[in-house]
Chain A
């Protein structure tokens, strides 16, 4: 069975604050991939990052960073110095090895207040 839990339904922060979006996953596979996508009001899902289950190195890309911890089955996403353009719904997704589809969480709506 596979499951992705994004417990935070909505988060509001003031511009320039840091914010962390949580993602907890469940899978029985040893090979899997984790993703984060951003969905702005326009509706298109924008790919942000992909991590495989064998690579627990944290990653930083500009103001974005990701913390992958297999011990807690978590793949959290931090935005540093948030900006209004970061306002969107963010989805965490799981792709089990050998499967062909992404399994999405329910998303976290982030609002950055100017």
Chain B
């Protein structure tokens, strides 16, 4: 059974640019959640996708958007990057929106 994978591992962007992060869910899971973890903090919920539809969103601006594909993999897109967007972005998958979430290794984004 393949776990949750994320790409890329690390990314460096400059302020104002756009970025796309990718996540492949664990086999058999149809739900993907994205979290932002700033240095020294706990992860903060960005949004969740369930069966290709957004199924809840945290307190993040619209420049954070996402997609889920028919194979349940997902993308997180961030437009107009700001310095404060520098963080570890974690993707988690689950067998439904209420079940245990299993996390990927994360993508570390640095915005200069």
Q: Which of A44, A46, A91, A99 contacts B106 (CB 8 A)?
A: A44
Contact call A103/B105, Cβ cutoff below 8 A: no
Task: List chain A residues, Cβ under 8 A from B35.
Answer: 102
Count class of interface residues, chain B: 20 to 34
Q: A44-B103, A95-B98 are in contact. Are A102 and B43 (CB under 8 A)?
A: yes
Interface residues of A, dominant DSSP: loop
* Min C-beta distance of A88 to chain B, whole Å: 13
Closest to B43 in A: A104
Number of chain A residues whose Cβ lies closer than 8 Å to a Cβ of chain B: 24
Q: B residues engaging A (CB < 8 A)?
A: 33, 35, 40-45, 48, 50, 55-56, 58, 88, 90, 92, 97-98, 100-106, 108
Q: In the bound complex, what is the Cα–Cα distance between A37 and B58 (angstroms)?
A: 20
Task: List chain A residues, Cβ under 8 A from B44.
Answer: 104
7 residue pairs A–B, Cβ–Cβ below 8 Å? A42-B105, A45-B43, A91-B43, A93-B42, A100-B48, A101-B33, A101-B56
Closest to A105 in B: B42
Contact call B42/A104, Cβ cutoff below 8 A: yes
Q: A44-B104, A106-B41, A106-B42 are in contact. Are A101 and B58 (CB under 8 A)?
A: yes
Task: List chain A residues, Cβ under 8 A from B106.
Answer: 43-44
Q: Which of A47, A100, A107 contacts B42 (CB 8 A)?
A: A107
Task: List chain B residues, Cβ under 8 A from A37.
Answer: 103
Q: Which of A45, A100, A101 contacts B90 (CB 8 A)?
A: A45
Q: A43-B88, A95-B98 are in contact. Are A100 and B104 (CB under 8 A)?
A: no
Q: In the bound complex, what is the Cα–Cα distance between A4 and B105 (angstroms)?
A: 23
Task: List chain B residues, Cβ under 8 A from A70.
Answer: none
